[in-house]
Every structure is written in structure tokens, then in C-alpha cells.
Amino acid sequence: MQNEQTPRQTLEAVLVTALIERATTAALKQLVPAALCHTEKGSVIGRFLLALDDGAGHPFNLNDLRRLEHVQLDACLQILAVDHAGRLNVRQRVEKDADGRLVWALLSSMWAPRKPNA
């Protein structure tokens, strides 16, 4: 009985989850379209999102975040915080939306590190 949540605690947990989902959705709606642009900022955002999914396969230099505008930087940091808390798998979240798998494949083809010719 000690570990059972009260109705208030359950409601608070549901509300927190809903707020996080809403903030995450807003941040990704800003970041993903920018990442699909062939620009310096698009490159930074695209590589950042790929690195969150697979840091070993998509290394990312955090200094690159300095190239972003404050609004974009805030959105990236928000996604990073939610990812760090274990509440988000960025790839699954992007792929959950309509055409999400295609969007992720585009991000990967645009911004994944190129392997040198053998």
C-alpha cells in the first residue's frame, strides 16, 4: 500500500506527461522543418536530432549549437532535456507522425556522416 498513488498524484503525473508531450511536439514542429532545409542551421539541427538517436553513428559537436538562433537553441535544449529524462526517443517520436519514417530517412540521407570511399 505504501507505493500506491493517490488520485491527485495520478492526475499530476498525467498532466505532467501531457505537458511534456505538448512541449515536445511544439519543439519538434519547429526543429524538423528547419532540419530539412539545406542551410547551415538545418545541418546543425538535423545532425543534432540524428545524434540524439545514435550518438556513436552520428557524432555531434556541441559547439555547433552556437550557430543557432535563441529560439532554435531553446527547442534543441528542450528536446535534449526530455531525451535525458528518458521520456523521449526522438526517432520514434518523429516517425509517429504522418510521413514520419520518410522524414527520418530524409534527415539521415541529408545529414548522416559520409563514409569515405574504400
Residue 29 lies in a domain: yes
pLDDT at 118: 47
Looking at the 3D structure of the chain, how many domains does it have? 1
Residue 19 lies in a domain: no
Q: What is the DSSP string of the chain?
A: -TTPPPHHHHHHHHHHHHHHHHHHHHHHHHHHHHHTSSSHHHHHHHHHHHHHH-TTTS---GGGGGGS-HHHHHHHHHHHHHHHTT---HHHHHHHSTTHHHHHHHHHHHHSPPPPP-
**What's the whole-number mean pLDDT along residues 8-20?**
88
Residue 39 lies in a domain: yes
Residue 34 lies in a domain: yes
pLDDT at 2: 63
pLDDT at 117: 64
Range of the domain at 32: 24-111
Give pLDDT tens digits for 53-110: 999 999 999 999 999 999 999 999 999 999 998 888 999 999 998 899 999 999 999 9
Q: Which residue has the higher pLDDT, 74 or 16?
A: 74
